[in-house]
Copies of this chain bind each other. A is one copy, B any other.
Amino acid sequence: MPIITLLTDFGHFDEYVGVMKGVILSIDPDADIIDLTHMIDPQDITQAAYLLKASYPYFPKNTIHVAVVDPGVGTDRRIVVLKIDGHFFLAPDNGLLSLLWQNQTIEAGVWLNNSRYFLHSISRTFHGRDIIAPVAAWLSRKTPIKLLGPPVKYSDLKTIKNLTSKISPENSIDGTVISIDRFGNLLTNIEAGIIHQMCRQHPDKLPVLKIGNIFIRGLSSSYQIVPEKQALMIIGSRGYLEIAVNCGNASQQLEVCKGDPIAITLATP
């Protein structure tokens, strides 16, 4: 049974997501549709890109991942289908998928333009329903990707800004808060690998995180390793650096917002 995942910024107030599922099941009654989240902050392509990258590896190969965060709907922005790491991805070409092909090969890719696989009537404001959902269902029915449109020119694909955090010549890493979860934990764009690399290169030093006026010294291996209500940094379950407060809400306690900058430096233990 093919799986189709949905990730959008549509929220839950409206029938938008349900209607996309109706379109999918009308074309492929056997599709198994799974919601990743519909609470991406409105039009936040970067947040969507990180959460999608964190999610897809937990699904079987050949899963079809639909991501609709689409501030450009109704303009001439293109919609893309990419096959990467054995999974299919459908999204507006606005950078949402760029974290996926940053370090991985694109196995196949087309610009969606074959209207044979769209709904008959296309609105100007809801391509998720009229174009992306039906194409996902046709993919789920094993329609070959090459029938959906012309091959993508990879150099034309859009990317999001600040894709990668790197170690600077001064031995620091600059990063950003990408998302805040329900518990107030802060997801950053700093990959586990780059922190571990920094620590390996300087085994006598301690990483120190600066966020606002707060300094956090050293990586924690679990929330409970620090006293209650104390802030900590930890490699989160998504493989990125996260900032948390043991038995507390880091976002509230540290007064941090999405988009705030962070910096990691090295200090003597």
B237 in contact with A15 (CB, 8 Å): no
Residues of B within 8 Å of A71, CB to CB, are 247
B26 in contact with A58 (CB, 8 Å): yes
In the docked arrangement, what's the CA distance between A222 and B74, Å?
Answer: 6
A202 interface contact, C-beta 8 A: no
A7 interface contact, C-beta 8 A: yes
In the docked arrangement, what's the CA distance between A151 and B180, Å?
Answer: 39
With A25-B32, A59-B25, A237-B126 known as contacts, the answer to whether A15 contacts B51 (CB < 8 A) is yes
Residues of B within 8 Å of A237, CB to CB, are 123, 125-126, 129-130
A141 interface contact, C-beta 8 A: no
A227 interface contact, C-beta 8 A: no
Residues of B within 8 Å of A1, CB to CB, are 29-30
Residues of B within 8 Å of A23, CB to CB, are 58
A223 interface contact, C-beta 8 A: yes
Q: What 0/1 pattern do residues 31 to 61 of A give for CB contact below 8 A with B?
A: 0101111110011000000011011001110
Q: How many identical chains are in the complex? A: 3
A37 in contact with B58 (CB, 8 Å): no
Q: Which bucket holds chain A's interface residue count?
A: 35 or more
A181 in contact with B14 (CB, 8 Å): yes
In the docked arrangement, what's the CA distance between A29 and B31, Å?
Answer: 11
With A71-B247, A181-B13 known as contacts, the answer to whether A25 contacts B60 (CB < 8 A) is yes
Q: Which of A9, A30, A182 neighbours the largest number of chain B CB atoms within 10 Å of its CB?
A: A182
With A22-B59, A55-B22, A58-B22 known as contacts, the answer to whether A11 contacts B182 (CB < 8 A) is yes
Binding site for B on A (CB under 8 A): 1, 3, 5, 7, 9-19, 21-23, 25-26, 29-30, 32, 34-39, 42-43, 51-52, 54-55, 58-60, 63, 71-75, 123-126, 129-130, 179-183, 221-224, 234, 236-237, 242, 247
| 5 tightest Cβ-Cβ pairs between the two chains A and B | A11-B182, A74-B222, A126-B237, A18-B36, A22-B58
Known: A72-B224, A75-B224. 16 other contacts (CB 8 A): A3-B25, A7-B15, A9-B182, A14-B51, A14-B182, A15-B52, A15-B55, A18-B34, A19-B55, A29-B32, A58-B129, A123-B237, A124-B221, A124-B222, A125-B242, A130-B237
